[in-house]
């Protein structure tokens, strides 16, 4: 046992010594290798397959080179070379890969002394770049010209001036004069990449690209017109025909050649790796200060004084209506930061990963925060309450709790007892004002200002009733006396004091900027599938808009031409056919459209909120209903239900057709009549069971529950909503009705139910476009198109039932109106044949009025004026309207037929003893009926077709059913063709039946 133990011990010692020797050997080898590496100059090869992070320019081909040649771990894209090199200096990336054309300028600048430049040999990679053209004709002319300047040495001189040399002095930059006799040469480029292109001391474009394109324009007898944009947008911009060519040179690849027309390569460069010098100290990562944001776009809240601070520090303010959108755009790199109250951005930075709060010095801006009111007595009582709160230490404790660095947003407000014996105090707030006001974890309002208001209410013995709104609406709301006072993070200013009364200040605030940590050099974040084009590309072009919508004015504001449509699907089809450039409507609707199957060829473009934010409201002719609806809305906001509904239908739809919640109606207090437009997905539309659903429908149902009422919906054309409400036909209308000053003159609006912005739907450009729909139809054939159309428009969700129900309504109105119109027409004909001139004149006036007035106008007059104060069914009103129309037509037709009967025959009948009446029944009427029959049957056909307008008064007929289906499937063709086929079949059958009946009655005499 002892021997065994000794042997085991010796074995372990030997193993340990062996491992130690091996470790020493490898360490020595490693050290020797490192010494060798340090003893020689580094090359590009040291960065191949080493797991490095190699940054590249956004939209350039070098991202692929970094992956394919260097096998980089990551290749983050940057918008500017300066940002790229700043990230290299801070150690956030290992190297930057650029064209050698930039190197001389970087060296001469002296800004980057701690970097080395490692050239990639030509046999490894050479970058050949050339301009892009819209047409091959212009490309061929350019290539011929380029070969000429290459042969005579001009090209070499331009290269020597710009590439691999210091930027020339202002006096040495060539100047050009253009005749423009052959028109304008539209070129696009990006203005921030010297020496290729930049803006000189005179703010004029200069550089290699500019000199090349100027010489070519002179050669062509044209005048160049530059459009500057992001580098990655240049190719799509030219390919879509918005420019004749690019003055910028794009790297020529086999893949790009498939979609672009390239000219001869005019820039041939090597690739260069820019790396930190060996032993160079990395800059410690530290927070930037407010001076960094000079010249950059900064998000600000609309109506808040932060725009003044933004301008003071040299930034450009961009208006937003909510903090979440602003923070997301900071994260996506669309704006450099978000300027708000420092206390707010400190909380946001703590809650949101990757952000930091940057204080703006108080000498630039500081403000005192106070409450506002229209009533001096309320202000006096609040001012008396503040010292009490301060004396007992409560105010100090509140400030430390709400404005401390460790604020817990989920922490509830302390329990504040309030018997509420003295009534209600109405308080206006803005819940987008963390930490002053926000919606807490339990769905109730929380924050410093909310607690302060609740404590004031307890001090007054009054229950607090909050009304939430956008910050910009607080002062108007108070001034209009809709609330007793308002409290949020309202800074006291001399300008605001002219409009509203302020309390004593309860907090001293300064401004701060929410930014991404180490924002300098932050790589570009890939934004979701957006196009290189923007709303500015629609200047001078036709944009479809909904008739009667606010989009018309916004279209004019962006210098586009409005084209009017009554439904989205028709406008969408015209977009696909190229008749209009795009269609503008609510962004929330377009999100659903773009995500719907079959619309992969479409592109969604946002219209900036600076042009229009569309607050939508319910409308009524009854102020009491509006007041009750506003109270209902405020409760939905307070308990978080409204945010939940908006998330389900408008903002984060988890499926394209969410299920409606089960909402049980009591109906104990009567019926609430709601008007809506059921083709506005996702606000109001027809679901699988033929019932209305959507955001507005859920709001209406919940309001009915709140009121203890049942609901009766009236679905109609959008343009009929306001007249319908004003005519007393509905208690409330709720749809995508934007609140405007012009509309407020006609109808009462509720508070906003949703703040939407506008968007434009258009075809993807040639780079992003998928196979066109026409190609798909041709590929599958007519049978495939028919099968797909039937499945999408009729079978899915049992939509055929809407067609059947609509056809039943159409036939009921048509047959009833034709029957009563025949009876009434005979009476009018009798009036027209009287010998009394006054009676005949009255009959003629009636027929003239009917014939001279459009049918749709007569329908509206009948509905809103003749039967305006009645509760008669809409269908009966439609029958009455068309009876009036048919009566005039049948009377004129029958009188004309009577006038054609030969008077001799009547005289003969009278001579053999027939009375005047018997002669009319025996001789005149049979002949008149036979002669009036063609016009009579035609009048029925016209009547069936004319009933297509009953959707204006909330009747779901055959045409309206087709419109509803089109609004769900966005298929412009199939529902129209199917409805047209049904109309044709129905009218043909009815005409044949009329002829058959008359033929039998006359024993074959009718032909």
H or E element at residue 513:
strand 507-516
Q: Beginning with the edge strand found earlier in the chain, give each strand of the sheet holding 424-429 in spatial order.
A: 463-468, 424-429, 485-486, 372-373, 501-502
- Per-residue pLDDT tens digits for 190-243: 776 778 887 777 768 888 899 999 999 999 999 999 887 767 668 777 887 888
Task: Give the whole-angstrom CA distance, residue 149 versus residue 162.
Answer: 16
Q: Where are the alpha helices (DSSP H) in 505-550?
A: none
Query: If you average pLDDT over residues 178-196, what whole number do you get?
Result: 85
Q: Mean pLDDT, the chain, as a whole number?
A: 79
Query: If you average pLDDT over residues 276-299, what whole number do you get?
Result: 71
Lowest average pLDDT, out of 327-341, 823-837, 966-980, goes to 966-980
pLDDT at residue number 33: 36
- Per-residue pLDDT tens digits for 352-371: 667 788 888 888 877 788 99
Bridge partners for 205 per DSSP? 199
Lowest average pLDDT, out of 340-349, 402-411, 774-783, goes to 774-783
- Per-residue pLDDT tens digits for 426-441: 998 887 677 888 777 5
Cβ burial of 284 (10 Å; 0-12, 13-18, 19+) is exposed
Cβ burial of 341 (10 Å; 0-12, 13-18, 19+) is buried
Listing DSSP states for 467-489 in one string gives EE--GGGHHHHHHTTSSSEE-SS
**Which range in 550-559, 706-715, 861-870 is most confidently predicted, on average pLDDT?**
706-715
User: What is the Cβ-side half-sphere exposure of residue 168, based on CA atoms within 13 angstroms?
Assistant: 19
pLDDT at residue number 303: 62
Output 770 or 908, whichever has higher pLDDT.
908
Q: Is the pLDDT of residue 950 over 50?
A: yes
H or E element at residue 978:
helix 974-1001
Q: Is the pLDDT of residue 768 over 70?
A: no
Tokens, residue 427: 């308080």
Q: Is the pLDDT of residue 285 over 60?
A: no
Lowest average pLDDT, out of 111-125, 446-460, 653-667, goes to 653-667
**Distance from the Cα of residue 557 to its chain's centroid:** 16
Closest of 544, 542, 545, 979 to residue 719, by C-alpha: 545
Task: Give the whole-angstrom CA distance, residue 79 versus residue 218.
Answer: 32
SS3 per residue for 164-189: CCCCCCHHHCCCCCCCCCCCEEEEEE
CB 71 within 8 A of CB 48: yes
CB 669 within 8 A of CB 956: no
Q: Where are the alpha helices (DSSP H) in 490-622?
A: 494-497, 551-557, 568-577, 587-595
Q: Where are the alpha helices (DSSP H) in 656-763?
A: 695-707, 721-726, 741-744
pLDDT at residue number 998: 67
Any idea which residue has 């509206």 for tokens? 860
- Taking residue 638's Cβ as centre, other Cβ atoms within 10 Å add up to 19
Query: If you average pLDDT over residues 805-822, what whole number do you get?
Result: 90
Q: Is the pLDDT of residue 654 over 80?
A: no
- Taking residue 728's Cβ as centre, other Cβ atoms within 10 Å add up to 15
Q: Where are the alpha helices (DSSP H) in 488-640?
A: 494-497, 551-557, 568-577, 587-595, 623-638
Query: In sequence order, what are the residues at sequence separation of 6 or more whose Cβ sits closer than 8 angstroms to the Cβ of residue 589?
Result: 568, 680, 681, 682, 683, 736
- Per-residue pLDDT tens digits for 11-57: 343 433 343 333 333 333 333 333 333 345 788 888 888 888 898 87
Listing DSSP states for 596-653 in one string gives STT-TTEEEEEPPTTT-EEEEEEEES-HHHHHHHHHHHHHHHHTTHHHHHHIIIII--
- Per-residue pLDDT tens digits for 398-415: 888 887 656 677 778 888
Residues in the chain: 1007
Query: In sequence order, what are the residues at sequence separation of 6 or more whose Cβ sits closer than 8 angstroms to the Cβ of residue 633?
Result: 642, 750, 751, 753
Task: Give the whole-angstrom CA distance, residue 23 versus residue 97.
Answer: 37
Output 523 or 231, whichever has higher pLDDT.
231
Tokens, residue 275: 């790396």
SS3 per residue for 665-679: CCCCCCEEEEEECCE
């Amino acid at each position: 046992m002892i021997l065994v133990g000794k042997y085991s011990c010796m074995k372990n010692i030997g193993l340990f010594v062996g491992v130690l020797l091996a470790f020493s050997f490898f360490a020595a080898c490693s050290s020797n290798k490192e010494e060798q590496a340090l003893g020689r100059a580094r090359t590009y090869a040291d960065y191949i397959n080493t797991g490095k992070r190699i940054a590249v320019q956004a939209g350039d081909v070098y991202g692929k080179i970094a992956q394919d040649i260097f096998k980089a771990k990551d290749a983050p894209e940057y918008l500017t070379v300066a940002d790229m090199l700043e990230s290299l200096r801070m150690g956030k990336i290992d190297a930057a890969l650029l064209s050698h054309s930039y190197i001389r300028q970087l060296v001469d600048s002296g800004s980057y002394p701690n970097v080395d430049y490692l050239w990639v040999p030509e046999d490894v990679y050479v970058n050949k770049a050339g301009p892009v053209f819209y047409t091959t004709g212009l490309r061929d002319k350019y290539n011929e010209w380029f070969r000429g300047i290459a042969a005579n040495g001009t090209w070499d001189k331009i290269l020597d001036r710009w590439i691999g040399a210091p930027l020339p002095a202002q006096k040495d930059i060539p100047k050009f004069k253009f005749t423009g006799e052959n028109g304008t040469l539209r070129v696009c480029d990006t203005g921030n990449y010297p020496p290729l292109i930049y803006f000189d001391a005179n703010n004029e474009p200069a550089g290699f690209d500019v000199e090349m394109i100027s010489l070519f324009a002179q050669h062509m007898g044209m005048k160049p017109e530059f459009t500057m944009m992001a580098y990655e947008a240049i190719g799509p911009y030219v390919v879509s025909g918005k420019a004749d060519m690019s003055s910028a040179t794009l790297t020529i690849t086999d893949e790009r050649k498939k979609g672009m027309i390239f000219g001869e390569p005019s820039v041939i460069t090597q690739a260069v790796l820019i790396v930190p010098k060996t032993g160079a100290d990395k800059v410690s990562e530290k927070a930037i200060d407010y001076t960094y944001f000079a010249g950059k776009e900064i998000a600000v809240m609309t109506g808040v004084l932060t725009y003044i601070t933004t301008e003071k520090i040299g930034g450009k303010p961009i208006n937003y209506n909510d903090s979440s959108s602003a923070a997301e755009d900071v994260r996506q790199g669309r704006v450099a930061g978000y300027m708000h109250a420092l206390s707010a951005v400190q909380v946001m930075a703590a809650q949101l990963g990757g952000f930091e709060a940057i204080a703006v010095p108080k000498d630039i801006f500081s403000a005192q925060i106070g409450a506002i009111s229209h009533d001096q007595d309320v202000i006096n009582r609040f001012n008396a309450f503040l010292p009490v709160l301060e004396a007992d230490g409560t105010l100090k404790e509140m400030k430390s709790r709400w404005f401390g660095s460790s604020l817990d947003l989920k922490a509830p407000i302390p329990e504040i007892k309030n018997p509420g014996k003295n009534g209600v105090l109405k308080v206006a707030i803005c819940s987008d004002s963390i930490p002053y006001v926000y919606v807490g974890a339990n769905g109730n309002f929380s924050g410093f200002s909310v607690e302060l208001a609740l404590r004031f209410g307890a001090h007054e013995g009054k229950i607090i009733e909050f009304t939430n709104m956008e910050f910009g609406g607080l002062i108007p709301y108070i001034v209009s006396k809709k609330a007793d006072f308002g409290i949020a993070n309202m800074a006291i200013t001399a300008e605001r004091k002219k409009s509203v009364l302020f309390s004593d200040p309860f907090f001293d605030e300064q401004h701060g900027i929410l930014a991404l940590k180490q924002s300098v050099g932050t790589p570009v974040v890939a934004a979701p599938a957006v196009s290189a084009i923007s709303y500015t590309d629609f200047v001078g072009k036709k944009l479809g808009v909904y008739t009667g919508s606010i989009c018309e004015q916004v279209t004019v504001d962006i210098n586009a031409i409005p084209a009017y449509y009554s439904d989205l699907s028709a406008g969408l089809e015209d977009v696909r056919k190229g008749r209009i450039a795009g269609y503008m409507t609510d962004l929330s609707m377009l999100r659903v459209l773009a995500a719907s199957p079959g619309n992969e060829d479409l592109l969604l473009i946002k219209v900036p909120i600076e042009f229009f934010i569309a607050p939508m409201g319910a409308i009524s002719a009854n102020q009491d209903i509006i007041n009750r609806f506003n109270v209902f809305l405020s409760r939905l906001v307070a308990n978080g239900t409204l945010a939940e509904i908006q998330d389900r239908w408008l903002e984060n739809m988890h499926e394209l057709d969410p299920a409606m919640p089960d909402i049980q109606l009591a109906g104990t207090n009567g019926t609430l009549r709601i008007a809506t437009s059921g083709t506005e997905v996702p606000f109001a539309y027809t679901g699988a069971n033929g019932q209305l659903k959507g955001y507005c429908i859920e709001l209406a149902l919940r309001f009915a529950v709140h009121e203890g009422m049942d609901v009766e919906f009236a679905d109609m054309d959008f343009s009929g909503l306001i007249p319908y409400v004003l005519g007393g036909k509905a208690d409330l209308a709720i749809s995508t009705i934007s609140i405007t000053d012009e509309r407020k003159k006609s109808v009462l609006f509720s508070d906003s139910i949703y703040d939407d912005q506008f968007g434009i739907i258009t075809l993807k450009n040639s780079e992003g476009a998928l196979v066109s729909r026409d190609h798909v139809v041709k590929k599958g054939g007519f049978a495939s198109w028919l099968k797909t159309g039937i499945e999408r428009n009729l079978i899915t969700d049992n939509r055929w039932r809407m067609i059947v129900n609509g056809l039943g309504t159409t036939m009921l109105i048509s047959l009833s109106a034709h029957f009563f119109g025949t009876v009434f027409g005979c009476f009018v004909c009798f009036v027209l044949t009287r010998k009394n001139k006054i009676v005949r004149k009255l009959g003629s006036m009636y027929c003239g009025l009917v014939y001279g007035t459009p049918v749709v106008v007569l329908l509206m007059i009948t509905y809103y004026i003749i039967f305006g104060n009645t509760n008669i069914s809409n269908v009966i009103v439609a029958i009455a309207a068309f009876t009036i129309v048919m009566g005039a037509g049948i009377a004129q037709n029958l009188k004309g037929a009577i006038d054609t009967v030969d008077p001799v025959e009547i005289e003969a009948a009278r001579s053999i003893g027939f009375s005047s009446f018997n002669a009319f029944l025996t001789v005149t009427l049979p002949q008149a009926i036979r002669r009036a029959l063609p016009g009579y049957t035609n009048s029925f056909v016209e009547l069936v077709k004319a009933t297509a307008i009953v959707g204006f008064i909330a009747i779901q007929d055959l045409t309206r059913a087709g419109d509803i289906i089109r609004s769900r499937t966005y298929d412009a063709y199939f529902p129209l063709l199917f409805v047209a086929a049904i109309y044709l079949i129905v009218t043909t059958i009815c005409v044949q039946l009329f002829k058959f009946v008359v033929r039998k009655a006359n024993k074959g005499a009718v032909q």
